[in-house]
Structure 1
Amino acid sequence: MGSRGESRQGTIARTAAFEPVRDVVEEHLRSGAEVGLSLVVERDGDRLLDLWGGHRDAARTQRWERHALGR
Structure 2
Amino acid sequence: MDILFILVVPFLVMVIVTRVTFSLVGATIVTLMIAFVLGVHVQPFWVIGIAIGSFVVGLLVAKKVLERKPGM
Q: Same-fold call, TM > 0.5?
A: no
Q: Which has the higher contact order (CA 8 A, sep 6+)?
A: 2
Structure 1 or 2: more helix by fraction: 2
Structure 1 or 2: more strand by fraction: 1
Query: Could you tell me the TM-score, scaled by structure 2's length?
Result: 0.32
Query: Could you tell me the TM-score, scaled by structure 1's length?
Result: 0.33
